[in-house]
Chain A
């Protein structure tokens, strides 16, 4: 089975690099190849200048990992779990320090089975940290968490990067990638379809602003071409009476749009403007939404 192909990435020291893509895009396969858990059929992986074929043990000493779905022993306490992981590494920080870094010290003596989803995820990060890794792999660190727990984890990941560690994470949340990552690779169907800083990726679709509007039913087929000709408009997508335009200057585009709709007797039910996001980048590149795809391919 081929999950990824022709994937070229370079992650620099001290940066937070994100693999963004829908579920089933090959993110986990990619990160597990990097972690040495899967062997690629072809290609080279170089981690901290070393190869999995030659120095697997040395690489494992220097990386930290949180897998997508590890269920740690429910009958061990938080401190015992981290201590267990600490014992696998030649050197590292103390279990207590690792727990402090993920703000879990007050739960040190709680059984892991009693933790909330967010606390479990922070514990997983603590287990990844306790070997004092130079490079951290976090596979979907915030999937399934409530917004508050996600923010808390973001803070932790930011502080890790602040301490000079390199972080590589996967996510299918574009806001997460946008906020956390210095650079992002957008992955779809096992291939990188775009790579760069969040800002440059967003800039690449032409406009930094997005206008979305809904039309009153019954709505005839809206012709793309004339909309594309409106001032400041960079791209247009229409689906089911819903228009999405990327524009440079909303204050120029909106009056022109309204006038056009009025001339063609199309009634608006809703209109919003917002900054363009990575979601728009993904939609522009693939014609699909990150989430929709996720539900089908999961």
Chain B
């Protein structure tokens, strides 16, 4: 096949534009505008993590003194028992119920414990009690011990060894302190994968990538701009979450703020690279969504967002600890809660950076432009 267009003399067209434009900046601006003009996207990126933090923060907030719900079997001694327990209403919430009701309530986790006083009989004039509860439920087991202990002392039991209790609380030691860095990491993962991956595939489907490729635009400028715009979206996302956590739950940052910023950026880079890799070949939104869930789901479960990843068996640990989100969550918790310094966390930062660089390079190599 032969196709030819002949050399043309360069004609002078009217007033060649002299204004300078930088492609990286122009693509970045375009991405920012597209994002901000999409209200749903703004909500999912900025609003959703806050709602999630608020909900989880309230659900797991520190209760001053644990309160137990206790049901008492309706009978002759029920009133007396209820009066004893009601001396400390902040600790016990008492109801007197018949068997069908309290069994139902036990089954539905509405009550922690049922006390069944022994029916009076000729053999024993003393009061004796049966505790009915699910022995596998930690709340019920605790309630049984506390109620038992309380009732024995009411009846005059003396402890052979005198004991005192002292409350220990350290900054960064509460569940919400554990949770916030995890949510931050989760947000960085989701934002990186969706923010880069989804947009890339969308542009591929619309043949916009192909159109760009037909211009002198440099490929690395384009990919660079995608990463930069991702960084820019991330700044408000993180500021909002941290400010919110500080004012609502009094979550403070023990470590160096600059170190935290750098770590967040390296984390964001790791996930932007991963997003680019996931999107590098996909031709449909369904494919890329599936791939993203495939990548994200294991990390949601394993990487210690809501509970420590140490809970998983020893054999799985090397794998779990290598996942980028596990590494990032550990880094964020080390800085925010433990106040660790660069000297302690640099190996983890290196692992994260490696994730970013390696995924970016592979993506660049296998990227499908049309």
Same assembly: yes
User: Could you list which residues of chain A lie within 8 angstroms of chain B, going by C-beta atoms?
Assistant: 4-14, 30, 33-37, 40, 42-49, 57, 60-61, 65, 67, 69-73, 75-76, 80, 83-94, 97, 111, 127, 131-132, 134-135, 163-164, 166, 168
B137 contacts A by Cβ under 8 Å: no
Residues of A near B316 (CB, < 8 A) are none
Distance of A7 Cα from B2 Cα, bound (Å): 6
Task: Write out the residue numbers on chain A whose beta carbons fall within 8 Å of the beta carbon of B216.
Answer: 57, 60-61, 88-90, 131
Establish whether residues A10 and B4, one from each chain, have CB atoms under 8 Å apart when the complex forms.
yes
Q: How far is the CA of A166 from the CA of B34 in the complex (A)?
A: 34
Q: With A48-B5, A84-B27 in contact, is A37–B370 under 8 Å at CB?
A: yes
Set of chain B residues within 8 Å of A93, measured between Cβ atoms: 13-17
* Known contacts A86-B21, A88-B212; A135 and B3 CB within 8 A of each other: no
Interface assignment of B10: CB less than 8 Å from any CB of chain A: yes
CB within 8 Å of A: which B216-273 residues? 216-217
Asked whether, in the complex, the Cβ of B17 is within 8 Å of the Cβ of A86, the reply is yes
B370 close to A134 (CB less than 8 A): no
Q: Is B147 an interface residue (CB 8 A)?
A: no
Q: How far is the CB of B250 from chain A (nearest CB, A)?
A: 39
Residues of chain B lying within 8 A (CB to CB) of residue A71: 206-208
On whether the beta carbons of A5 and B206 are closer than 8 Å, the reply is no
Q: Of A7, A69, A135, A163, which one neighbours B13 at CB under 8 angstroms?
A: A163
Interface of A is mostly: loop
Does the CB pair A73–B17 fall under 8 Å? no
B23, chain A: closest CB distance, angstroms:
5
Which chain B residues border A69 with CB–CB below 8 Å?
A: 207
With A88-B212, A88-B216, A134-B11: A34-B17 Cβ-Cβ less than 8 Å: no
Binary per-residue interface labels of chain B (197-225) against chain A in the complex, 1 for a CB within 8 Å, 0 otherwise: 00000000011101111111100000000
In the complex, are the beta carbons of B215 and A60 less than 8 A apart? yes
Enumerate the 5 nearest inter-chain pairs by beta-carbon distance, A residue then B residue, closest first: A43-B1, A49-B7, A87-B21, A87-B26, A71-B206
Assess the B3–A45 pair: CB atoms within 8 A.
Answer: yes
A76 touches B8 (CB 8 A): no
Report whether B8 and A166 are in contact in the complex, using a CB–CB cutoff of 8 Å: yes
| Distance of A22 from chain B, by nearest CB (Å) | 20
Q: Knowing A7-B2, A34-B3, A83-B21, say if A135 contacts B8 (CB, 8 Å).
A: yes
Q: Among B16, B17, B34, B38, which residue has the most Cβ atoms of chain A within 10 A? A: B17
Interface presence of B167 (CB below 8 A)? no
Contact with A along B20-52 (1 / 0, CB 8 A): 011101110110011001100000000000000
B100: Cβ under 8 A from any A Cβ: no
Task: Select the residue from B5, B7, B30, B208 with max chain A CB neighbours within 10 A.
Answer: B5
Q: Are B16 and A70 touching (Cβ within 8 A)?
A: no
Interchain CA distance A8-B6 in the complex, whole Å = 14
CA distance A134 to B10 in the complex (A): 7
List chain B residues, Cβ under 8 A from A14. Answer: 8
Asked if A37 and B3 sit within 8 Å, CB to CB, the answer is no
Query: If the complex has contacts A33-B1, A48-B5, are A164 and B11 also in contact, measured as CB distance less than 8 A?
Result: yes
Residues on A with beta carbons closer than 8 Å to the beta carbon of B207 = 67, 69-71
Taking the nearest CB of chain A, how far is it from the CB of B63, in angstroms? 46
Question: Which B-chain residue is minimally distant from A34 (CB atoms)?
Answer: B3
In whole angstroms, how far apart are the Cα atoms of A8 and B3 in the complex?
6
> Is residue B19 within 8 Å, beta carbon to beta carbon, of the partner chain?
yes
Give the residue name and chain of the B residue nearest to A190 (CB).
B1
Q: Known contacts A73-B208, A93-B16, A131-B215; decide if A84 and B1 are in contact (CB<8 Å).
A: no
Does A73 contact B30, Cβ atoms closer than 8 Å?
Answer: yes
Question: Are A166 and B30 in touch, CB under 8 angstroms?
Answer: no
> A5's contact among B1, B10, B212, by CB below 8 Å, is which?
B1
Contacting pair A9 B2 (CB below 8 A): yes
A46 near B17: Cβ-Cβ < 8 Å: no
Q: In the complex, what residues of B have CB within 8 A of residue A163's CB?
A: 13
A100 to chain B, nearest CB (A): 11
Indicate if the CB atoms of A60 and B7 lie closer than 8 Å: no
Of B6, B15, B37, B216, the most chain A CB neighbours within 10 A belong to: B216
Are the CB atoms of A88 and B217 closer together than 8 Å? yes
**CB nearest neighbor in B for A90:** B216
In the complex, A69→B15 CA distance in Å? 31
CB contacts (< 8 Å) of B10 on chain A: these are 134
Q: Are B3 and A132 in contact (CB under 8 A)?
A: no
CB-based nearest A residue for B41: A75
Contact flag A37-B210 (CB < 8 Å), given A9-B4, A43-B1 = yes
With known contacts A76-B34, A83-B26, A132-B13, A30–B8 Cβ distance under 8 A = no
Residues of B within 8 A of A10 (CB): 4-6
* Interface residues in B343-370 (C-beta closer than 8 Å to A): 370
- Separation in Å of the B196 CB from the closest CB of chain A? 16
Query: Judging by beta carbons under 8 Å apart, are A33 and B3 in contact?
Result: yes
User: Are the C-beta atoms of B5 and A166 separated by less than 8 Å?
Assistant: yes
Q: Which residue of B lies closest to A163 (CB)?
A: B13
- Separation in Å of the A165 CB from the closest CB of chain B? 8
Q: A46 with B210: in contact, given A75-B37, A88-B215, A89-B215 (CB under 8 Å)?
A: no
Q: Which residues of A lie under 8 Å from residue B30 when comparing CB positions?
A: 73, 76, 80, 84
